[in-house]
Structure 1
Amino acid sequence: MSFPIFALSRRRFLAFAAGALAFAASPALADKAPAGKIPVEELMAPNALPDIVEGDAKAPVTIVEYASMTCSHCAAFHKEVYPALKKDFINTGKAKFILREFPLDPLAFAAFMVARELGDKRDAAVDLLFAQQKNWAFVDNPLDGLANVLKQTGIGQDKFDAVLKDKALYEKIAAVRTRANEKFGVNSTPTFFVNGDRYTGEITVDDLGKIIAAHTTAK
């Protein structure tokens, strides 16, 4: 990783992050998808950070999304598709959903770091940040915007600043990202794995429903 947040002053971070929102994958990312299907047991092997699972752990379909908090396509998925996915498939026990960190820029790293500070409430913070993405990711002072939005979760400025200096947490998020790239060929967001089958880019509610149904009726 080339942009350790803990090493940046607030001014340098703001200047760096403001120009880093093109959503292009880092040149260091491998531009090659793995051949064939990823075995679910390999996909679900222990990561540098524990998964936060939405839904029944024994659900027959496992959906893993690799997302970046500053990705507009990821935000669209969580605002337009995820509510129906949750209502029709996660809450009914047909599928479980896991979001994993794949930050594409320093600001996305910062957002994920502070969201992780909330423990099992991370996904609620992620939903909040995606819903209000325009209020922090696309403003003149994105780090200040991020801190202001996250105040709704109870994290004050002192705690916010302290989390961004957490080198160990930064490195764990970086490790999740690196493993996704090197083991599973993830090089853009959003990337989804449904029972190990890989899908990239935007996905509609109808298409996702058909994919889930195919996996549910396959046995």
Structure 2
Amino acid sequence: MSIARRSLLLAAPSAALIPGLAFAQAADARLGERSSGKPDAPVTVIEYFSLTCSHCASFHNQTWPQVKAKLVETGKIRMVWRDFPLDQIALAAAMVARSLPAERYEGFVSALFASQDRWAFTRGGDPVAEIAKIAALAGMSRAQVDAALADQALQRGILEMRVKGQQEHNVSSTPTFVFNGRSQAGALTYERFAELAGVSGT
């Protein structure tokens, strides 16, 4: 989903406006790498995504299970996820996701994408309440959800991740995948993903 097609409500700060944030990210485990696959896999693929992006949901619901089974679990690639929230709801969901233990991150994100139509686009509803219900299944209380959403350092760290995506990989839409330094935007089929990763898809 391109930024031009969805109202961008976030005021993303530049790296220069957040002194010491790189150190803060290194010290804050919540802002550390979220990934799946062997650290020594021959190929690393980075995905920039927004949790309210329908194209990101399409990839995660339809293509990611095949990528995980055929490429990640077989040791061919390592997948790294980086937040690129396009609106306030996506930012809130990302803050909750990163407040969970790292080993629960992928499952929670997958649950959010699988139920995206129930919490991301409901008019007059309470998206935070719906996110909290899903977080409860991952062992997170409503009080912990509220604490995560009130954490300004966590918010700044996620926004900085988005800024770095723009600066380092020219990310302007989601999902955007980075294969060996080359960016490819849009939800990909399994076959196209394997082709861009340069690995056998079988």
Pair in the same fold by TM > 0.5: yes
Equivalent position of 1:107 in the other structure: 89
Equivalent position of 1:153 in the other structure: 138
The answer to whether the 8 A contact 1:101-1:112 is kept is yes
Larger Rg: 1
The answer to whether the 8 A contact 1:23-1:70 is kept is no
CA 1:114/1:26 → structure 2, altered by over 3 Å: closer, same or farther? Answer: closer
Equivalent position of 2:109 in the other structure: 126
Equivalent position of 2:17 in the other structure: none
Task: State the 1:25 CA deviation.
Answer: 5.1
Letter in 2 for 1:168: A
Equivalent position of 2:190 in the other structure: 205
2:37 matched to 1:52?
A: no
1:11-90 equivalences under 5 Å are 23-24=6-7, 48=25, 49-90=31-72
1:178-217 equivalences under 5 Å are 178-212=163-197, 214=198
Name structure 2 gaps, 5 residues minimum: 13-21, 26-30
The answer to whether the 8 A contact 1:193-1:199 is kept is yes
Q: TM-score by structure 1 length?
A: 0.75
Q: Number of matched residues?
A: 179
2:157 matched to 1:175?
A: no
Which SS does the other structure have where 2:157 is aligned? helix
CA 1:151/1:90 → structure 2, altered by over 3 Å: closer, same or farther? Answer: same
| CA-based RMSD | 2.2
Task: State the 1:119 CA deviation.
Answer: 2.4
Letter in 1 for 2:154: L
Letter in 2 for 1:54: S
Letter in 1 for 2:128: L
List per-residue Cα deviations over 1:92-141 (Å, max 9, x = no partner): 11100011000001111110111111121212211111111111112222
Letter in 2 for 1:132: S
Name structure 1 gaps, 5 residues minimum: 1-21, 30-44
The answer to whether the 8 A contact 2:41-2:77 is kept is yes
Equivalent position of 2:18 in the other structure: none
Which SS does the other structure have where 1:122 is aligned? helix
Which SS does the other structure have where 2:184 is aligned? strand
Q: TM-score by structure 2 length?
A: 0.81
CA 1:166/1:47 → structure 2, altered by over 3 Å: closer, same or farther? Answer: closer
Equivalent position of 2:119 in the other structure: 136
CA 1:66/1:135 → structure 2, altered by over 3 Å: closer, same or farther? Answer: same
Task: State the 1:28 CA deviation.
Answer: 7.3
List per-residue Cα deviations over 1:150-179 (Å, max 9, x = no partner): 221121211111111001111110110111
Task: State the 1:145 CA deviation.
Answer: 1.6
